[in-house]
């Protein structure tokens, strides 16, 4: 097909997709179709480029230093040409740019494709950088394939840059030129340049990291036995180990390795967090800089057979998350199930995500249990979005007082972004039904590609249960995906339980603390300000119980980001209560005293004598109160 004809057909397909609920036609490449769907779901602008700006970033980071010689070479090659080369970090923030001609440079400045701006897909929509980072593979986006029309004057090819030690994506290398006949070598050049950056990254790595990598490669070259390599700031695991270990397991094995490091012939049995035991043989890895870390050979005991697939009315029945090879509970080899806008690799969360995605695709009615703030409604929306649906779910809250019922915990949303669903209906036709809950459910838009979420199922009055069950059954019969959320295992009438074929329990945040770094990063991205956390913040967050779960974590981070004193969130920006590790409930007076004490210590940069003088108490009292409330402070700079 002629390139001009193809371009016109792609442009028409894009406009039709934006104006209707239909999926893009097959003439649009699959990765572009998927990116359009994600961009539309996220509400990315189509006529204006609105991206966050981060002026303060590390211009001497390892990625920037590794990319500099590669960009210098490409800059000489591209001099005078209508092309440019760009390097971004793993979150899409542009860190360096080299342009061949002034006209192209001016255009890229107008669309903010410049250092300090983010070209992540969630901000700009379909573009080479965003798609490459989202899908973790090379991508080419030509002219009219861009979601935002202001980017359609250019074409681009991007390739991820992976850390050669950990294998994780460290950034992306992007080539951009004016839209037109694009050389077939454009994508190959991007991949080659990304590979060059990866080689420089390896050369910049420490001798300890190299020693660990070489030991890991040697140990995993033959056979597929589980192998784990632990360094001070590095963890390597082959697939046989990765699918069976959690973050807490890594901590336990690191402690065992430290004890076994000097006795390489000794084996030790370690009990993992899930109750399973593993036999560990440890070998210390040395480097010119000293002890680099430990290499662990693991032998897992045979695990008991998985529980049966969960059924409605049995909260927590999602199983252990191991591979079953069938049914919605299968975890496909333990791989995380990516859902739009949600993050996490905890095994329990992984299983819940797979079940929800399976139920959404198969239109299987699903009952979601979980504490307030765990993200039950967010899970339903994301699972619905992963099917490629063009419309958001209709969310009805049974706890709305207009329906004549009052649910326990009705004021607690199920997770981040649940606010629209509070107090009635969200989605098409945002109106609470005057005829009661059943009438509202019957009036909701239904049909293939639609989803109906009923929050606080335990708020349905027993007298209304038959009518509500009938409305849900009618919706399910039309091809609508029916989901209900439940805060706790309350007694639900069998009439309602029979409406749901599957059930899952979303784990509370305190049970998936290994996902905390990813959750913090994801929640901070929502601020759009490029905020990050200082290293001493995560330990403070990790030791909290988080009774409000993800919703509470998000509120804490937003408040800290708003009141921060530097470009990143420091420990001193967190609420005073997070600096205390007490294990008992405090009275209002004690909580106020603790907060006053923490604020005084933070204002004095941790100087106990100065804080005591300002509070009018002795330094001995300061120390005694700190011990009583379990107060810890960030180290003084």
Q: What are the per-10-residue average pLDDT scores of the chain (637 residues)? A: 83 91 87 92 87 84 90 87 92 93 91 94 94 92 93 94 84 91 75 92 78 85 82 82 83 82 67 82 79 86 43 40 35 57 82 89 91 90 87 90 54 38 46 67 91 91 91 93 82 86 86 84 79 81 81 88 82 77 58 76 79 83 76 60
Minimal CA–CA distance to 472: which of 450, 454, 448, 487?
A: 454
Q: At what angle do helices 608-615 and 619-629 cross, to 10 degrees?
A: 100
Kindly report the pTM of this predicted structure. Answer: 0.44
pLDDT of amino acid 287? 76
DSSP assignments along 455-508, one per residue: E-GGGS-GGGHHHHHHHHHHHHHTTPEEEEEESS-----HHHHTT-SEEEEPPP
Contact 500, 315 (CB under 8 A): no
Burial of 444 (0-12, 13-18, 19+ CB in 10 A): buried
Contact 537, 571 (CB under 8 A): yes
Domains of the chain: 3-204 (3.30.450.40), 207-300 (3.30.450.20), 347-401+441-507 (3.40.50.300), 580-636 (1.10.10.60)
Q: Spell out the SS3 assignment of 173-212.
A: EEEEEECCCCCCHHHHHHHHHHHHHHHHHHHHCCHHHHHH
Interatomic CA distance for residues 332 and 338, integer angstroms? 12
Contact 237, 317 (CB under 8 A): no
Tokens read off for 116: 């300090």
What is the CB neighbour count within 10 angstroms for residue 524?
Answer: 21
Interatomic CA distance for residues 149 and 17, integer angstroms? 14
pLDDT of amino acid 137? 92
Q: What is the DSSP letter of 155?
A: E
What is the CB neighbour count within 10 angstroms for residue 436?
Answer: 18
Tokens 């359009």, residue located:
36
Q: What is the three-class DSSP state of 91?
A: coil
pLDDT of amino acid 261? 64
Q: What is the three-class DSSP state of 170?
A: strand
Burial of 263 (0-12, 13-18, 19+ CB in 10 A): exposed
DSSP assignments along 283-346, one per residue: EEEEETTEEEEEEEEEEEPPPPPPPPPP-TT-TT-S------SSSTT--TTT-----TT-----
Q: What is the three-class DSSP state of 271?
A: strand
Alpha-carbon torsion, ordered 401, 404, 410, 415, to 10 deg: -80
pLDDT of amino acid 142? 92
Dihedral of alpha carbons 558, 563, 569, 571, sign: negative
Q: Which residues contact 479 (CB under 8 A, 6 or more apart)?
A: 363, 446, 447, 448, 449, 450
Contact 116, 55 (CB under 8 A): yes
Q: What is the three-class DSSP state of 408?
A: coil
Alpha-carbon torsion, ordered 456, 462, 467, 471, to 10 deg: 20
Contact 465, 493 (CB under 8 A): yes
Contact 79, 124 (CB under 8 A): no
pLDDT of amino acid 306? 38
Interatomic CA distance for residues 123 and 141, integer angstroms? 16
Give strand pairing partners of 162: 169
Tokens read off for 199: 């080689």
Q: Which residues contact 546 (CB under 8 A, 6 or more apart)?
A: 508, 509, 510, 552, 553
Order across the sheet with 94-99: list the strands: 94-99, 83-89, 169-178, 154-162, 139-141
What is the CB neighbour count within 10 angstroms for residue 172?
Answer: 29
Burial of 578 (0-12, 13-18, 19+ CB in 10 A): middle
């Amino acid at each position: 097909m002629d390139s001009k004809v193809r371009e016109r057909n792609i442009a028409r397909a894009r406009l039709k997709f934006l104006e209707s609920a239909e999926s893009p036609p097959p003439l649009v490449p699959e990765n572009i179709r998927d990116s359009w769907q994600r961009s539309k779901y996220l509400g990315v602008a189509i006529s204006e480029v609105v991206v966050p700006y981060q002026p303060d970033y590390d211009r001497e980071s390892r990625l920037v230093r590794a990319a500099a010689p590669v960009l210098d070479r490409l800059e000489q090659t591209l001099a005078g040409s209508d092309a440019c080369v760009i390097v971004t970090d793993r979150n899409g923030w542009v860190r360096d740019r080299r342009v061949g001609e002034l006209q192209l440079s001016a255009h890229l400045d107008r669309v903010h494709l410049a250092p300090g701006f983010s070209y992540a897909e969630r901000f700009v929509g379909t573009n080479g950088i965003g798609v490459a980072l989202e899908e973790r593979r090379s991508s080419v986006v030509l002219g009219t394939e861009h979601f935002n029309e202001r980017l359609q004057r250019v074409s681009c090819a991007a390739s991820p840059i992976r850390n050669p030690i950990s294998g994780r994506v460290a950034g992306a290398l992007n080539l951009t030129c004016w839209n037109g006949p694009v050389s077939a070598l454009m994508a190959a050049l991007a991949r080659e340049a990304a590979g060059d950056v990866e080689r420089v990254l390896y050369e910049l790595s420490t001798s300890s990291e190299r020693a660990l990598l070489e030991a890991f490669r040697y140990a995993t070259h033959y056979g597929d036995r589980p192998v784990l390599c632990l360094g001070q700031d590095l963890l390597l695991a082959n697939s046989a180990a990765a699918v069976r270990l959690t973050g807490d397991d890594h901590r336990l094995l690191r402690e065992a390795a430290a004890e076994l490091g000097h006795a390489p012939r000794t084996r030790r049995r370690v009990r993992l967090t899930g109750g399973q035991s593993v036999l560990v043989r440890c070998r210390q890895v040395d480097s010119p800089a000293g002890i680099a870390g430990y290499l662990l050979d693991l032998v897992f005991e045979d695990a008991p057979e998985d529980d049966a697939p969960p059924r409605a009315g049995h909260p927590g029945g999602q199983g252990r998350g191991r591979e079953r090879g069938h049914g919605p509970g299968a975890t496909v080899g333990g791989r995380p199930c990516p859902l739009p806008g949600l993050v996490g690799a905890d095994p329990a969360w992984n299983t819940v995500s797979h079940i929800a995605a399976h139920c959404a695709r198969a239109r299987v009615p699903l009952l979601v249990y979980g504490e307030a703030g765990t993200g039950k409604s967010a899970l339903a929306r994301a699972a619905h979005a992963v099917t490629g649906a063009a419309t958001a779910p209709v969310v009805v809250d049974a706890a709305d007082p207009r329906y004549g019922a009052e649910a326990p915990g009705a004021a607690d949303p199920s997770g981040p972004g649940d606010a629209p669903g509070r107090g009635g209906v969200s989605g098409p036709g945002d109106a609470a039904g005057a005829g009661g809950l059943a009438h509202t459910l019957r009036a909701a838009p239904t049909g293939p590609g639609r989803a109906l979420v009923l929050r606080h199922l335990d708020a349905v009055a027993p007298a209304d249960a038959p009518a509500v069950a009938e409305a849900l059954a009618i919706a399910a019969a039309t091809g609508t995906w029916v989901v209900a959320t439940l805060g706790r295992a309350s007694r639900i009438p069998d009439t309602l339980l029979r409406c749901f074929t599957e059930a899952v329990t979303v784990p509370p945040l305190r049970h998936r603390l290994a996902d905390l770094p990813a959750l913090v990063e994801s929640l901070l991205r929502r601020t759009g300000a490029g905020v990050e956390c200082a290293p001493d913040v995560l330990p403070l967050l990790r030791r909290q119980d988080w009774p409000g779960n993800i919703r509470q974590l998000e509120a804490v981070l937003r408040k800290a980001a708003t009141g921060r004193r530097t470009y990143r969130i420091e420990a001193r920006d967190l609420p005073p209560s997070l600096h205390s590790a007490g294990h008992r409930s405090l009275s209002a007076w004690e909580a106020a005293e603790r907060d006053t004490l923490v604020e005084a210590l933070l204002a004095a940069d941790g100087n106990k004598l100065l804080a005591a003088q300002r509070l009018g108490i002795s330094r001995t009292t300061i120390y005694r109160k700190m011990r009583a409330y379990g107060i810890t402070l960030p180290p003084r700079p």
